[in-house]
């Protein structure tokens, strides 16, 4: 397994910081303009492991084979991904999945993962399509929805059709 040392970093040291950026906004402007080009520029200037600021948050970029292996093979104690998934707390609720302590999160993921495997998803795909079709059946030809709210409701929907004003 890759280690931070093999990626050119001493253990315990933070990743190299991308220069520039505005106070609090950080690198949001170039990132929003073209995320792909921004990441390419960071890799060219700083390397495959780098940090930068977006809207007051420090983002750590891991690109390339070695950094990707580090990310996917590290334990939560070495590289906790929970902070990146805090946006899911309103969907799943407090204390669930990525909002839970590591041991509890691992228990919950162990129960959840079998239903997310490829074969299980193939078996569920027709149900997902039907649920979407049922949810939009009464919409008509034009109108507006709050997309984020609709998608959140669709994600946690228990089989009840959603209204057009969801």
Structure confidence at residue 22 (pLDDT): 94
Structure confidence at residue 37 (pLDDT): 95
Domain boundary, last residue among 59, 74, 89: 74
Q: Give backbone dihedrals phi and psi of 54, rounded to 5 degrees, phi first.
A: -135, 115
- Domain assignment present for residue 32? The answer is yes
On whether the CB atoms of residues 98 and 88 are closer than 8 A, the answer is: yes
- Domain assignment present for residue 41? The answer is yes
pTM of the model: 0.50
Q: How many domains does the chain have?
A: 2
* Least-confidence region, from 17-31, 57-71, 74-88, 132-146: 74-88
Domain boundary, last residue among 74, 108, 139: 74
Structure confidence at residue 5 (pLDDT): 42
- Domain assignment present for residue 2? The answer is yes
Does residue 159 sit in helix, strand or coil? coil
Among candidates 139, 136, 140, which has minimal Cα distance to 161? 136
Q: Same domain for 137 and 70?
A: no
Q: Same domain for 67 and 2?
A: yes
- Domain assignment present for residue 142? The answer is yes
- Helix, strand, coil percentages (3-state) for the chain, rounded to 5, are 55, 10, 35
- Domain assignment present for residue 164? The answer is no
Condensed to tens digits (0 to 9), the pLDDT of residues 93-107 reads 788 887 888 888 889
Higher pLDDT, 146 or 39: 39
Q: Which sign does the torsion angle of CA 85, 39, 8, 70 carry?
A: positive
Q: Same domain for 1 and 62?
A: yes
pLDDT above 90 as % of the chain: 25
- Domain assignment present for residue 49? The answer is yes
Domain boundary, last residue among 55, 74, 93: 74
- Domain assignment present for residue 42? The answer is yes
Structure confidence at residue 88 (pLDDT): 74
Other CB atoms within 10 A of residue 91 CB: 13
Q: Same domain for 57 and 125?
A: no
Mean pLDDT of 42-63: 92
Tell me the residue range of the domain where 138 lies.
117-156
Structure confidence at residue 160 (pLDDT): 55
Q: Per-residue pLDDT for 18 more than 60? A: yes
Q: Same domain for 66 and 9?
A: yes
Q: Which sign does the torsion angle of CA 85, 89, 90, 92 carry?
A: positive
- Domain assignment present for residue 83? The answer is no
pLDDT band for 44, please (50, 70, 90 cuts): very high
Mean pLDDT of the chain: 82
């Amino acid at each position: 397994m890759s280690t931070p040392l093999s990626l050119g970093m001493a253990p315990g040291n933070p990743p190299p910081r991308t220069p520039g950026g505005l106070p609090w906004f950080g690198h949001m402007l170039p990132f929003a303009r073209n995320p792909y080009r921004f990441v390419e520029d960071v890799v060219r200037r700083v390397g495959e492991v780098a940090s930068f600021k977006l809207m007051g948050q420090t983002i750590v970029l891991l690109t390339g084979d070695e950094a990707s292996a580090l990310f996917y093979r590290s334990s939560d104690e070495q590289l906790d991904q929970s902070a990146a998934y805090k946006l899911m707390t309103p969907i799943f609720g407090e204390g669930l999945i990525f909002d839970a302590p590591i041991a509890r999160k691992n228990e919950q993921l162990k129960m959840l993962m079998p239903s997310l495997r490829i074969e299980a998803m193939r078996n569920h795909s027709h149900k997902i399509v039907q649920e979407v079709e049922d949810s939009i059946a009464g919409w008509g030809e034009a109108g507006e929805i709050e997309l984020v709210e609709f998608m959140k409701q669709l994600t946690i929907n228990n089989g009840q059709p959603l209204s057009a004003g969801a």
